[in-house]
């Protein structure tokens, strides 16, 4: 499995120093759309940044774009991509599961990045971020969750359904739900719910021991801030900070939210540098 036209990818550079949208070939002819930026000489020793988007979102959003600009200014490596069935990637969204999107993230990270990483996960991406950190502990130096939503298929979807809705979901294999973010309803599949149960994390200790920062709005109507507080308790790491934003919504995409995000990335980059200086053999 190889990338499409790698020589062309390197020639097509955006003003943020990222490649233009390229394709990573995965299984059975499918592909993931992505954009990446290689670190400059000054930023080569710092961790690269990977953005993991949310449920039914794509890599063109304000948070991903702002991180692209930030990494360009700091000389940092950066990767953003669309999961299968999202954005410019191939596949049908309704075929997606946590296992599928987790595998997408691993494929993108394993084949498109090198060295240590800081993962930034938004909403569902916060769940994927944790799964990646557990699967690749040798690569991950820090985590930033933006309204992270681990276990959302169970805690926020299945547990919120009525008995009749659950019965219809099981019988029909899918259920439509109205969304504040789209004119079209979200379609929840039985496969998504059942597969999500393979990856639930909040029921026990989460063996991740790197600095973690969780940003969550108190005005978030979709993912209660209590999930970030619970996640803080479950993580093995001691350096875990939850930042609650009184007027913050779920998107956390206002100018002040984006500035806070960049400052948090900068903090973890500096922590990584300090750790490297004190542990030269790491």
| Catalytic-labelled residue, pool 199, 250, 257, 272 | 250
| Residue from 18, 151, 159 nearest 80 by CA | 18
Task: Let me know if 259 is a catalytic residue.
Answer: no
Instruction: Report phi then psi at 148, rounded to 5.
Output: -60, 145
Q: How many CA atoms lie within 13 A of 36 on its CB side?
A: 24
Tell me how far apart the alpha carbons of residues 24 and 43 are, in angstroms, rounded to a whole number.
25
| Catalytic-labelled residue, pool 123, 151, 195, 257 | 123
Task: Let me know if 86 is a catalytic residue.
Answer: no
Q: Is 86 exposed, middle or buried (0-12, 13-18, 19+ CB in 10 A)?
A: buried
| Residue from 178, 179, 189 nearest 100 by CA | 189
Task: Let me know if 250 is a catalytic residue.
Answer: yes
Tell me how far apart the alpha carbons of residues 162 and 140 are, in angstroms, rounded to a whole number.
39
Q: Are 262 and 67 in contact (CB under 8 A)?
A: yes
| Catalytic-labelled residue, pool 82, 104, 151, 220 | 220
Tell me how far apart the alpha carbons of residues 49 and 36 are, in angstroms, rounded to a whole number.
10
What residues act catalytically? Answer: 123, 220, 250
């Amino acid at each position: 499995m190889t990338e499409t036209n790698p020589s062309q990818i390197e020639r097509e550079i955006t003003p943020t120093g990222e490649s233009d949208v390229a394709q990573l070939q995965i299984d059975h002819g499918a592909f993931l759309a992505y954009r990446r930026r290689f670190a400059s000489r000054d930023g080569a020793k710092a961790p690269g940044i990977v953005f993991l988007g949310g449920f039914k979102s794509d890599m063109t959003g304000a948070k991903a774009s702002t991180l692209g600009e930030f990494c360009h200014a700091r000389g940092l490596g950066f990767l953003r991509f669309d999961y299968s069935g999202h954005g410019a990637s191939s596949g049908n969204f309704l075929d997606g599961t946590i296992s599928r999107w987790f595998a997408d993230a691993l494929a993108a990270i394993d084949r498109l990045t090198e060295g240590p990483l800081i993962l930034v996960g938004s909403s569902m991406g916060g769940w994927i971020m944790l799964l990646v950190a557990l699967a690749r502990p040798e690569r991950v130096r820090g985590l930033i969750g933006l309204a992270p939503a681990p276990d959302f298929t169970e805690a926020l979807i299945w547990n919120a359904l009525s008995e009749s809705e659950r019965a219809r979901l099981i019988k029909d294999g899918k259920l439509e739900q109205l969304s504040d973010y789209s004119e079209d309803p979200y379609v929840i599949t039985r496969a998504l719910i059942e597969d999500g149960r393979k990856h639930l994390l909040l029921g026990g200790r989460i063996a991740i021991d790197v600095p973690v920062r969780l940003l969550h709005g108190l005005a978030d109507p979709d993912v209660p801030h209590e999930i970030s507080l619970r996640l803080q308790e479950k993580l093995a790491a001691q350096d875990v900070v939850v930042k609650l934003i009184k007027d913050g919504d779920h998107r956390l995409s206002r100018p002040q939210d984006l500035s806070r995000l960049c400052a948090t990335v900068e903090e973890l980059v500096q922590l990584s540098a300090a750790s490297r200086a004190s542990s030269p053999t790491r």
